[in-house]
């Protein structure tokens, strides 16, 4: 087990989250099955008070989880220095069989909690609280992912063996056959770029046509295509190395922490895009979500596109 | 109209210690009516007021004001309801002692963010009506009890609410000031406000402009 101060902070927060998460889960079940706003019974009034408490707990878990996600990446980067072979967070993620699952769970939970928060904000705008039952129903499902994340996080940090040599990101994110994600490198660059810009083109088209479901689906797809494009193509221009594909190294100071900006733009852009299709909101809010999504996705695409263009202008060749 | 339907309110101090403040009461107060709730301390009068003002929720039953089920309002909507409809005069005035008279009176306007001229107009109306305009810039803690109460009344009226609620308004006043307060109530009644006063002060009993006196005893309305 590795216990740096950062890891210890994360593990203690996990215990606190689990404690409050369990309380919110139990109350959510009671609210989900007992909620009847028309009722003037003692039980319903009690549920109305409990729904306020539960929503507050969930809201604050999320509010802490967002910066904690960035802190988690920062921690992985930091402990990569004590693992032989690791050059960045990628090595730490790969140091145990649980790292990849943990990352996937964290991303799922980030989107789930953010979705819950949007639903909650919409719910409290109405006197009749139309989404109360739905939002606590979603939390009941989200809770299992949430607890899974906490358990896997503990298991992952407990399984890290500092004496064991791990692979560096150069090996993990390469086109060699034994690489974990070698399959994505078999996609031809022109096809990948067509998918990337094509997907963004559809986002723009659906934005102007105001087709919210298609806009949401395009954004959902954009998460996957963007991350693959980043690893396979754009990353090489950030590093200015044709063989370096790591999605973590650009989070380091050598690259001016640009990774945090890239992932924040992608998360906010795609999240608000997805929300337009999955939350019934007022026209004003839908328009606001469209605009936020479009703006962040636009800056994301511009930022990534600038790297190869600037490289070409400087060097006169493509990688 | 204010309607309390099958209201029960239980204060749960702990699992075994419960106080039944209101026990399945029903009450209707018509628009423009002045009602005096009388009864001993702990009879449930103040609880009725806090329910009408949406300061608390019943344990069961419902409170309806002008067709709006205010006991079912989430907290953020209850605050808006209070701001727009209720003027509450508290027993101990609940003023901010370090602020001036003017600052205390205009406090309920702050969330509405009105322009300065609108604030001044409203302030002038209530300070003149309740005879406190000459003390507008005085610090509240330096005022006498009667003056403090007039500030509290002015504050309760700055938003021109439909309903005025007064909880033991003369408990801290001598007889002369209490009679003055009763005169103010008479003026408010002329303005067609719905007024609910909870008191055990005998000065309020048998007044000609009071529409009804309702006795509350051990959480029940005495018929």
pLDDT (0 to 100) of residue A8: 93
- Both A143 and A180 in one domain: the answer is no
Say if the Cβ atoms of A124 and B60 lie within 8 Å: no
- Both A214 and A268 in one domain: the answer is yes
Residue A115: inside a domain: yes
Choose the final residue of a domain: A159, A181, A212.
Answer: A159
Say if the Cβ atoms of A127 and B8 lie within 8 Å: no
Hey, is the C-beta of A124 within 8 angstroms of any chain B C-beta? yes
Token pair listed for A143 = 């809770």
Residue A107: inside a domain: yes
Residue A132: inside a domain: yes
Has the ipTM of the complex gone over 0.95? no
Please compute the mean of the pLDDT values over residues A303-317 and round it to a whole number.
Answer: 92
What number of CA atoms fall less than 13 Å from residue B128's CA on the CB side? 6
pLDDT (0 to 100) of residue A278: 77
Residues of chain B found within 8 Å of residue A41, distances taken between Cβ atoms = 60
CA pair distance A157, A9, nearest whole angstrom: 12
- Both A101 and A215 in one domain: the answer is no
- Both A227 and A287 in one domain: the answer is yes
Task: For residue B160, report the phi and psi dihedrals to the nearest 5 degrees.
Answer: 50, 60
Say if the Cβ atoms of A40 and B6 lie within 8 Å: yes
pLDDT tens digits, residue range A227-282? 999 988 999 999 998 888 888 888 888 888 899 899 999 999 998 998 888 777 77
Instruction: Say yes or no to pLDDT of A179 above 70.
Output: no
- Both A143 and A40 in one domain: the answer is yes
Neighbours of A6 (CB within 10 A): 17
Exposure string for B179-214, b = 16+ CB within 10 A, e = fewer: ebbbebbeebbeeebbbbbbbbbeebeeeeebeeeb
Domain count, chain A: 2
Is residue A91 very low, low, confident or very high in pLDDT (cuts 50, 70, 90)? confident
List, in order, residues 6 or more apart from B92 with CB less than 8 Å away.
Answer: B172
**Domain span including residue A183:** 169-315
pLDDT tens digits, residue range B69-93? 999 998 889 999 999 899 999 888 8
Residue A279: inside a domain: yes
Residue A164: inside a domain: no
Shortest Cα distance, chain A CAs vs residue B223, angstroms: 25
Q: Which of A111-120, A123-132, A137-146, B6-15 has the lowest mean pLDDT?
A: B6-15
Instruction: Say yes or no to pLDDT of B161 above 60.
Output: yes
Please compute the mean of the pLDDT values over residues B3-29 and round it to a whole number.
Answer: 89
Asked if A40 and B60 touch (Cβ cutoff 8 Å), the reply is yes
Residue linked to tokens 């896997």? A152
Asked if B155 and B110 touch (Cβ cutoff 8 Å), the reply is no
Residue A202: inside a domain: yes
- Both A67 and A139 in one domain: the answer is yes
Instruction: Say yes or no to pLDDT of A177 above 70.
Output: no
Give the chain B residue nearest A128 (alpha carbons): B73
- Both A211 and A279 in one domain: the answer is yes
- Both A70 and A104 in one domain: the answer is yes
Asked if B90 and B153 touch (Cβ cutoff 8 Å), the reply is no
- Both A59 and A81 in one domain: the answer is yes
Residues in A 125-184 with any Cβ partner in B closer than 8 A: 127, 129
CA pair distance B26, B20, nearest whole angstrom: 15
Residue A205: inside a domain: yes
- Both A192 and A249 in one domain: the answer is yes
- Both A264 and A208 in one domain: the answer is yes
pLDDT (0 to 100) of residue A180: 57
Asked if A69 and A60 touch (Cβ cutoff 8 Å), the reply is no
Residue A224: inside a domain: yes
- Both A152 and A276 in one domain: the answer is no
Say if the Cβ atoms of A40 and B5 lie within 8 Å: yes
Choose the final residue of a domain: A159, A184, A207.
Answer: A159
Asked if A16 and A117 touch (Cβ cutoff 8 Å), the reply is no
Choose the final residue of a domain: A159, A191, A212.
Answer: A159
pLDDT tens digits, residue range A46-84? 999 999 999 999 999 988 988 898 899 889 888 888 888
Beta partners for B214?
B37
> Nearest Cβ partner of B60 from A41, A48, A129?
A41
């Amino acid at each position: 087990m590795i216990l740096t101060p950062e890891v210890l902070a994360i593990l203690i927060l996990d215990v606190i989250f689990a404690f409050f998460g369990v309380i919110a889960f139990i109350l959510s079940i009671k609210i989900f099955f007992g909620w009847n706003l028309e009722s003037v019974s003692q039980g319903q009034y009690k549920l109305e008070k409990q729904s306020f408490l539960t929503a507050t707990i969930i809201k604050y878990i999320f509010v802490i989880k967002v910066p904690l996600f960035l802190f988690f990446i920062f921690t992985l980067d930091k402990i990569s220095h004590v693992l032989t072979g690791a050059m960045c967070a990628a090595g730490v993620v790969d140091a145990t069989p649980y790292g990849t699952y943990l990352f996937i769970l964290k991303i799922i939970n980030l989107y789930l909690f953010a979705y819950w928060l949007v639903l909650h904000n919409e719910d409290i705008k109405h006197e009749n609280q139309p989404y109360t039952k739905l939002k606590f129903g979603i939390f009941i499902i989200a809770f299992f992912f949430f607890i899974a994340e906490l358990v896997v996080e503990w298991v992952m940090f407990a399984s890290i063996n500092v004496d064991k040599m791990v692979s560096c990101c150069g090996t993990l994110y390469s086109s060699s056959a034994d690489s974990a994600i070698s399959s994505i490198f078999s996609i031809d660059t022109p096809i990948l770029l067509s998918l990337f810009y094509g997907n963004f083109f559809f986002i723009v088209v659906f934005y102007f046509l105001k087709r919210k479901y298609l806009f949401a689906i395009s954004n959902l797809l954009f998460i996957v295509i963007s991350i693959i494009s980043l690893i396979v193509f754009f990353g090489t221009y950030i590093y200015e190395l044709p063989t370096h594909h790591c999605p973590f190294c650009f989070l380091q100071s050598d690259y001016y922490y640009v990774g945090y900006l890239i992932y924040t733009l992608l998360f906010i852009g795609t999240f608000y895009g997805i929300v337009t299709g999955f939350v019934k909101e007022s026209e004003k809010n839908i328009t606001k979500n469209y605009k936020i999504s479009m703006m962040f996705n636009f800056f994301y695409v511009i930022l990534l596109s600038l790297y190869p263009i600037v490289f070409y202008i400087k060097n006169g060749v493509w990688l | 109209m204010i309607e309390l339907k099958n209201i029960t309110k239980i204060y749960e101090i702990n699992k075994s210690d419960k106080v039944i403040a209101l026990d399945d009461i029903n009450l209707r107060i018509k628009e423009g009516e002045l009602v005096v709730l009388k009864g001993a301390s702990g009879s449930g009068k103040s609880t009725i007021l806090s329910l009408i003002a949406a300061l608390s929720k019943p344990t069961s039953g419902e409170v309806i004001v002008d067709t709006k089920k205010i006991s079912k309002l989430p907290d953020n909507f209850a605050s808006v309801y209070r701001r727009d409809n209720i003027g509450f005069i508290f027993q101990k005035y609940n003023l901010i002692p370090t602020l001036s008279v003017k600052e205390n009176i205009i406090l309920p306007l702050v969330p509405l963010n009105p322009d300065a001229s609108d604030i001044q107009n409203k302030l002038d109306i209530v300070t003149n009506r309740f005879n406190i305009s000459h003390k507008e810039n005085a610090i509240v803690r330096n005022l006498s009890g009667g003056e403090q109460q007039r500030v509290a009344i002015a504050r309760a009226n700055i938003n021109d609410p439909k309903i005025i609620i007064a909880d033991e308004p003369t408990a801290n006043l001598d007889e002369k000031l209490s009679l003055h307060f009763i005169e103010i109530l008479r003026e408010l009644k002329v303005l067609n406000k719905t007024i609910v006063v909870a008191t055990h002060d005998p000065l309020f009993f048998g007044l000609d402009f009071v529409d009804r006196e309702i006795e509350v005893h051990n959480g029940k309305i005495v018929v």
